[in-house]
């Protein structure tokens, strides 16, 4: 699958797709199958409301609250639901604990499965052929593409999302954050650190 | 099916290139294609696995040349035409030319939040027992169906270990054609060396979620 963005496509092809999508929306609306106002709401939900800040709140709470952390690793769907995040593409969530011995990384080699309620819609690279092909055979090489190098004795564990289980990586809490509030901790949590292709920011990155 | 969607372990696609400050959508039509796909699930009556099959069931050269939302949109057109909800002449005309087929439900603006929040859980009650338990050695079967499957090629024939019994979930291979046929689902771990031989990194491991019909005792 071409991981190039639409602006890399030639202009006529782009116009053709645009026109075709518009034509289909008109047909489906005229037939009463879709309501354009519902389409607008769907788009607004994933453009404005649901995104990686949700996941960052989960991670920050897991760092700050040991009881929540225990509930999260026991039943992530329910613990994440406590914060109000649930539903489509997050019906069954499992939280993965990064430790000094094990680093977790999530991929969907067969399509683009991704935990929408906590991370939003996946970035283009996550759906692209380079990531889907190499994440399982060369995870350290993929991490290098993201500028991440882990100790050679850290096990890299890759989770291929082949079922409806969605995986959320809980990165290690950065040093020097003792006593921080959940809100402040959440600022350290990047989207990629919850996929496993990145690490959280360090306190000095916030200054 | 052994299509271009099954990419695990392929070479030659080059490095992963993250886009800094990437927007959620890259064009207006991507937004509409995304929303149309979600909204039509209800009147269309298809499930996730049927959608996945409609996306992957195309010439590999074509699949690889298309962008992600182009694949989604092409699959949407396919499913609409298969169910005779839309015809080619209407897509060309850009207008409805034939009477609408009755559908059970459509997605109203009032329903959007509720429907998204509810999602579509795939775990099902069962009175059967799981055959495998954590720690069991299993082999992923060497299956090559022409139809939908979620057992990637790179694990077929390989030895793995059951790490977790997830529960009884809708079976994609049959669900793609509308039959849920729930089966026990497991997380199965494979070592990098088992999957990739001497070219693999022994400090890495990969797991897939595999339904019981994909596995045999080893």
Q: What is the CATH number of the domain that holds B156?
A: 2.30.30.50
Residue B162 lies in a domain: yes
Per residue in A43-83, pLDDT tens? 999 999 999 999 999 999 999 999 999 999 999 999 999 99
Token code pair at residue B151: 């057992």
Q: Provide the number of structural domains found in chain B.
A: 2
Domain boundary among B87, B118, B149: B118
pTM equals 0.96
- State whether A163 and B185 contact (CB < 8 Å): yes
Token code pair at residue B80: 């609409």
- Among the partner-chain residues B15, B39, B93, the one whose CB lies closest to the CB of A130 is B15
Residues 184-213 of B with CB under 8 A from A: 185, 187, 195-196, 199-201, 203-211
- State whether B120 and A35 contact (CB < 8 Å): no
Residue B23 lies in a domain: no
What residues make up the domain containing B50?
Answer: 28-118
Residue B20 lies in a domain: no
- State whether B209 and A163 contact (CB < 8 Å): yes
Chain A nearest-CA residue for B10: A133
Residue B206 lies in a domain: yes
Q: What parts of chain B have a pLDDT lower than 50?
A: none
Residue B58 lies in a domain: yes
Distance from CA of A179 to the nearest CA of B (A): 30
Q: Please report residues of B whose CB lies closer than 8 A to that of A4.
A: 67
DSSP secondary structure, chain A, as one string: ---S-GGGS-HHHHHHHHHHHHHHHHHHHHTTS--HHHHHHHHHIIIIISSHHHHHHHHHHHHH-HHHHHHHHH-HHHHHHHTT--STT-SEEEEEE--SSEEEEEE-SSS----HHHH-SPPHHHHSHHHHHHTTT-HHHHHHHTT----TTSEEEEEE--SSEEEEEEPPPPTT-TT--HHHHHTT--HHHHHTSS-PPPHHHH-
**pLDDT-based confidence at A15, cuts 50/70/90?**
confident
pLDDT at A10 over 80: no
For chain B, what is the radius of gyration of the CA atoms? 20
B143 — contact with chain A (CB < 8 Å)?
no
Residue B22 lies in a domain: no
Whether residues B179 and B206 fall in one domain: yes
pLDDT at A6 over 60: no
Give me the residues paired with residue B167 across strands.
B185
Number of cross-chain residue pairs from A and B with Cβ atoms under 8 Å apart: 288
Q: What is the CATH number of the domain that holds B108?
A: 1.10.472.20
Whether residues B210 and B146 fall in one domain: yes
Whether residues B82 and B42 fall in one domain: yes
Per residue in B62-74, pLDDT tens? 999 999 999 999 9
Mutate to test the interface with A, among B10, B16, B172 (most CBs of A within 10 A): B16
pLDDT at A1 over 90: no
Chain B nearest-CA residue for A158: B206
Give catalytic residue positions of A: 108, 111-113
H/E run at residue B208: strand B204-211
Rounded CA gap, B207 and B184, in Å?
A: 16
Rounded CA gap, A78 and A86, in Å?
A: 9
Whether residues B114 and B143 fall in one domain: no
Residue B191 lies in a domain: yes
Per residue in A139-186, pLDDT tens? 999 999 999 999 999 999 999 999 999 999 999 999 999 999 999 999
Position A79 scores a pLDDT of: 98
Per residue in A94-131, pLDDT tens? 999 999 999 999 999 999 999 999 999 999 999 999 99
Q: Please report residues of B whose CB lies closer than 8 A to that of A28.
A: 36, 40, 80, 85-86
**pLDDT-based confidence at A207, cuts 50/70/90?**
confident
- State whether A160 and B208 contact (CB < 8 Å): yes
Per residue in B167-200, pLDDT tens? 999 999 999 999 999 999 999 999 999 999 999 9
pLDDT at A4 over 70: no
Rounded CA gap, A99 and A77, in Å?
A: 21
Residue B199 lies in a domain: yes
Q: Please report residues of A whose CB lies closer than 8 A to that of B16.
A: 125, 128, 130-131, 134, 142, 145-146, 197
Whether residues B164 and B204 fall in one domain: yes
Residue B103 DSSP code:
-
Encode B193-207: b = buried (16+ Cβ within 10 Å), e = exposed.
Answer: ebbbeeebbebbbbb
């Amino acid at each position: 699958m071409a991981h190039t963005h639409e602006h890399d496509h030639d202009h006529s092809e782009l116009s053709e797709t645009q026109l075709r999508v518009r034509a289909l929306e008109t047909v489906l609306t005229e037939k009463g199958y879709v309501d354009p106002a519902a389409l607008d709401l769907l788009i607004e939900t994933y453009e404005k409301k649901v995104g990686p800040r949700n996941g960052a709140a989960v991670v920050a709470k897991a760092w700050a609250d040991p009881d929540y952390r225990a509930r999260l690793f026991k039943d992530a769907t329910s613990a994440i639901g406590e914060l109000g995040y649930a539903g489509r593409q997050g019906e069954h969530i499992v939280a993965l604990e990064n430790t000094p011995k094990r680093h977790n990384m999530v991929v969907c080699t067969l399509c683009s499965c991704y935990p929408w309620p906590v991370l939003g819609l996946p970035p283009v690279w996550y759906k692209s052929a380079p990531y889907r092909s190499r994440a399982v055979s060369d995870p350290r090489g993929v991490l290098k593409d993201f500028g991440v190098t882990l100790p050679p004795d850290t096990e890299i564990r890759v989770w291929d999302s082949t079922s409806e289980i969605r995986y959320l990586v809980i990165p290690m809490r950065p040093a020097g954050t003792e006593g921080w509030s959940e809100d402040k901790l959440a600022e350290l949590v990047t989207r990629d650190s919850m996929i496993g292709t990145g690490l959280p920011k360090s306190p000095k990155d916030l200054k | 099916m052994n299509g271009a969607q099954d990419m695990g372990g392929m070479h030659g696609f080059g490095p992963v290139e993250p886009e800094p400050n990437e927007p959620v959508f890259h064009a207006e039509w991507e937004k509409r294609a995304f929303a149309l796909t979600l909204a039509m699930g209800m009147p269309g009556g298809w499930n996730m696995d049927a959608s996945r099959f409609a996306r992957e069931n195309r010439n590999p050269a074509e699949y690889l040349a298309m962008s992600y939302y182009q694949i989604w949109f092409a699959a949407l057109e396919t499913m609409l035409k298969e169910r005779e909800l839309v015809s080619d002449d209407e897509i060309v005309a850009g207008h409805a030319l034939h009477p609408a087929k009755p559908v059970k439900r459509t997605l109203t603006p009032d329903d959007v939040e509720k429907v998204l929040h509810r999602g579509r859980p795939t775990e099902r009650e069962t009175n059967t027992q799981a055959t495998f338990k954590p720690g069991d050695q299993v082999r992923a079967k060497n299956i090559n169906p022409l139809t939908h499957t979620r057992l990637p090629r790179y694990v077929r024939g390989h030895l793995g270990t059951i790490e977790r019994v997830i529960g009884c979930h809708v079976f994609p291979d049959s669900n793609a054609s509308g039959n849920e046929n729930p089966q026990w689902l497991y997380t199965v771990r494979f070592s990098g060396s088992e999957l990739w031989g001497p070219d693999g990194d022994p400090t890495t491991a990969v797991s897939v979620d595999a339904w019981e019909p994909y596995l045999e005792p080893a």
